[in-house]
Each structure stands twice: as structure tokens, then as C-alpha cells.
Structure 1
Amino acid sequence: MKLTRMYQGEDGTSQFEDIEINLHELDIGAFSRNLRPEHMSFRISPPDLVYDWHNATQKTMIVVIQGAVQTQVSNGEVRRFGPGEICYAEDVEGPGHLTTDLEGPRLSLMVFLPDDFDVHHWARSFDA
């Protein structure tokens, strides 16, 4: 399983990084390490929403449930996220990113994480 991280690189631009999430196999399926979010909410974006350049308000995992979104980071790279895909936004500073809803309305689960959340540590390990 993977997620795509959006972050501010050393050159000051927002960038993408693909991260593999280690899973722990149990009888009923494979599990990631537990998340301890500050809060979670669902969001329904209006069809054809274009959200101009902006930053994440805090570290946030966005799980697309329905619809699709195109995201452009400031280094020029563009990616599309559809149902079941996870975008982890931690570009809370810098130029940010631009989002365009493609197949709306888009339903997403927003998982807001604490400032000290380390996605690399979380992805490499797990709780049994």
C-alpha cells in the first residue's frame, strides 16, 4: 500500500514523494500502524471546484472515497487521485499546491494529524 506525500522541499518548492506503507498480516487482513489523529471529518467538494494555490492548514491525510482530484505542486508536477488513493499534505509553508476536482462531487475522508507526526516513521513500522 502506498500514499503520496506533498511537502516543501529544500529548494522551497512543493513536491511529491511516494511512500510505501508497511503492513502487518493478521487473520482478518493486513493492517498499518495505528494513526492517532487530532480529528477527522468528511468533505464533499462541489463539482468542478478549482482551489487556487494554497497550503495545507496542518498535516492531513486525504483519502478519496468518490470522485477524483488533480493536484499540482509548485515544482510543476501534476498527479491525479481517485477512489482509494491517499494524499498526505504537509506543505503547510511555502508556495503550496493547486487542486482541481475532475469527477465531482468528490467525497474525501480528511484525517488531521498532530504537528509532530512523522509519516516516514509511521509508514516503516506498525502495531501488532
Structure 2
Amino acid sequence: MKCLRIYATPDGESHFDEVELPTRKISVHPDAAPFDATTNYPASQVRITHIPAGMREVAWHGVPAPVLTVRLDGSVEYETSDGEIRNVSAGSFVLVEDTHGKGHLSRHSPEAQTVIWITLPNGLENPST
């Protein structure tokens, strides 16, 4: 399973890449077909935000700690400091790890949006055992 990632290099510039999340087949019920799932990752906070209609561009910003954002509706266009732009639609998730430096820009779609923010103290590097 792939996850879009925004990160900062030591010089403070932000960039995109994709992280491959290893999965395994799990079954949640004896009568249900197994499906792919990642391992568990430790999370320290969960926040649900409502971005009002009409909020367009958010100035350059980063995050205080690695956060996995899950977009439930609407869309956003992210721009990193190297000028690359990616569009993220509803149903997508992004690991945001630009905890230092210039940060990134967020340009939101015109409609209201709901986003879940999951703070991951270790990012996606160290899953729970």
C-alpha cells in the first residue's frame, strides 16, 4: 500500500515521496474474506477538523510532529518548497513530516472538508509489535 509523504531535508526544503506500507492478509470474522492491512503504528493524538467552505490557501507551514492526514471529503493541492505540486482527493491519506524548515502550502477545494489528523510520534518507521 502506498502513502504520499511530505518531508523536509536537513536544509529545511520540503519534498514529496511515496512510502510503501507493508501489508498482510487479516480476517476479522471467520465468514469474512481476508483483506490487506498494515501493522499497527503507535499514535499519540487523533484530531478531527472541519475546514470551512471557501478556505483556499494556507500560507507556508509545517507540522510540529509527524501526522497522518486522512481526507474524508473535498480535496487539497499541496506544494512543496521545491515547487512540486500534488493533488490529494477524498479517501486519500498523506504522511506529513516537514517538522522543520519552510514547510508546504495547502490549497483547499472550495467546498467544506473533514480531515482526520493522527499524530504518529515515530512516523511510519517503527510499528508496534
TM-score (norm 1): 0.86
Report whether the alignment pairs 1:63 with 2:81: no
Paired amino acid for 1:88: L
The residue number in structure 1 matching 2:31 is: none
Instruction: Provide the C-alpha distance between the structure 2 equivalents of 1:48 and 1:17, rounded to a whole number of angstroms.
Output: 29
Equivalent residue of 1:72, what SS?
A: strand
TM-fit CA distance, 1:30: 1.5
Q: What pairs with 1:81-92 in structure 2 (closer than 5 Å)?
A: 81-92=88-99
Corresponding residue SS for 2:64: coil
- One-letter code aligned to 1:16: F
| Residue 119 (structure 1) aligned to one of 108, 116, 124 | 124
* Residue aligning to 2:16: 16
% same residue: 24
Distance in 1 (CA, whole Å) between partners of 2:90 and 2:66 is 20
Runs of 5+ consecutive residues of structure 1 not aligned to the other structure: none
User: Which has more radius of gyration?
Assistant: 2
Aligned residues: 122
Higher helix share: 1
| Root-mean-square deviation (Å) | 1.7
Instruction: Indicate the SS of the match to 1:25.
Output: strand
- Distance (Å, rounded) in 2 between the aligned partners of 1:8 and 1:118: 13
